[in-house]
Amino acid sequence: MNAPREIGVGLVSLGWMGRLHTKAYQAVPVTYPELAVRPVLAHVADTAPDRAAFARDVLGYRRASADYREVLADPAVHVVSICAPNALHREIALAAAEAGKPFWIEKPVGRDATETADIAAAAAKADLVTSVGYNYRNAPAVAHIRELVIGGELGRITGVRCVFLNGQAADPRVALSWRYQRELAGSGVLGDLLSHVADLVAYVAGPSTGAIAEVSALSAIVHPERPVVEMGTGTVFSLVEGGQMGPVENEDHAAALVRFAGGAIGTLEVSRVAVGPQCQLLLEVSGTEGSASWDFERMNELRVARLGGSGYTGVLAHGGLGEYARFQPGPGMAMGYDDLKVIEAARFLGAVLERDTTGSAHCTVADAHAAAEVVQAAVDSAASGSWVRVKEVRP
């Protein structure tokens, strides 16, 4: 095996997702030894002094700054993870592109389709490797359903159903974070969760159905007010008793009918205020010869049905599905959410090493732009009450 190549990692914003990126980078050499890469935690930027200190003193970053520009200017930084709030994504990503730094950015990439298009264009102009945090793509069960679709084992795909029902904001005492403010987040649950749904559907069913071509959507604000907290404090799960209330400016719940370019139809639904489901990302793909179903709350299982059979058959994730064997030795031993980020980190670093800007093995900002156009069509449809054509994104 070749001596590991060191890649200096820069990180912008050490919240929950910033810590996940860090742990994912650290796990890559053990989980993907054939890459022969050793990520070095070079430089972190966070405006909160306690977070910067934690990154340096506990996680092991060599430098900590308050300004992301110092990370981008650091010659020891070869790749950058952008985990800042949505409102900062465009500014930081464009600066990373100008600095020539490949970047792994969390979703939604931009607050709307225009911002996402700007980032995708800048990355393409700079010929940069990029990656996007659509980690649900990486579940072994999802990889298997995609293989069934591509291999034609489900026949012609006629219908797709995908819902992402989340309970993190079901309690109206959940703090009014930036996620509920249009200027800082853009759309609400459409940008936050429908972006995941749009990408997942395109990745799994798209090879058969083509892209989502038209959308008819509805949306609603279920909890119009939430308690105000100081920016940068608490988490998306923080509960606040009493205090000043502020308005929720973007949608909590949305649903859409969609038509695919190849003629299939689908239903999509997203909520951040569902009572019961906690993180139910449910994908069902139906075809003329069979169907397949997967739910993230049971990440290590899927169900498959064949024409002429007696209904769904349950399948446990195992070494023959996706990247499962890298994490567990046999069926019944669960992979988790964090493992999906390790796969994402490995694919990003592998693409950097190979200079693969096309996304042949990973999700890029071009993919995110396509998902953003679906979200934008849903936003526009919910506002107008009409069917809206999805703007085509060409590679």
**Are the beta carbons of 274 and 266 closer than 8 angstroms?**
no
Instruction: Look at the domain 137-332+364-389 and name its fold.
Output: Dihydrodipicolinate Reductase; domain 2 (3.30.360)
Helix axes 195-204, 140-150, angle to 10 degrees: 50
CA–CA distance, 249 with 93 (Å, rounded to integer) = 25
Three-class secondary structure assignment of 312-351: CEEEECCCCCCCHHHCCCCCCCCCCHHHHHHHHHHHHHHH
**Are the beta carbons of 121 and 334 closer than 8 angstroms?**
no
What pLDDT is recorded for position 313? 97
What pLDDT is recorded for position 235? 62
Instruction: Look at the domain 5-135 and name its fold.
Output: Rossmann fold (3.40.50)
CA–CA distance, 367 with 371 (Å, rounded to integer) = 6
- What is the sign of the dihedral through the CA atoms of 344, 169, 14 and 98? positive
Whole-number average pLDDT of the chain: 95
Q: Helices (DSSP H) in the chain: which residue ranges?
A: 16-31, 49-54, 68-73, 86-99, 113-125, 140-150, 182-185, 189, 195-204, 206-209, 337-354, 365-384
DSSP per residue over 1-61, as a string?
A: -PPPEEEEEEEE--SHHHHHHHHHHHHHHHH-GGG-EEEEEEEEE-SSHHHHHHIIIII--
Q: How confident is the model at residue 206 (pLDDT cuts 50, 70, 90)?
A: very high
Residue-wise pLDDT tens digits, 107-159? 999 999 999 999 999 999 999 999 999 999 999 999 999 999 999 999 999 99
Assigned token pair, 366: 């071009």
CA–CA distance, 305 with 273 (Å, rounded to integer) = 32
pLDDT at 41 over 90: yes
Neighbouring residues of 360: CB distance < 8 A, sequence distance ≥ 6: none
CA–CA distance, 354 with 287 (Å, rounded to integer) = 36
Say whether pTM exceeds 0.85: yes
Assigned token pair, 45: 């930027």
Residues of the chain with CATH 3.40.50.720: 5-135
Between 312 and 356, name the one with better pLDDT.
Answer: 312
Residues of the chain with CATH 3.30.360.10: 137-332+364-389
Strands 279-287 and 290-295: what pairing? Answer: antiparallel
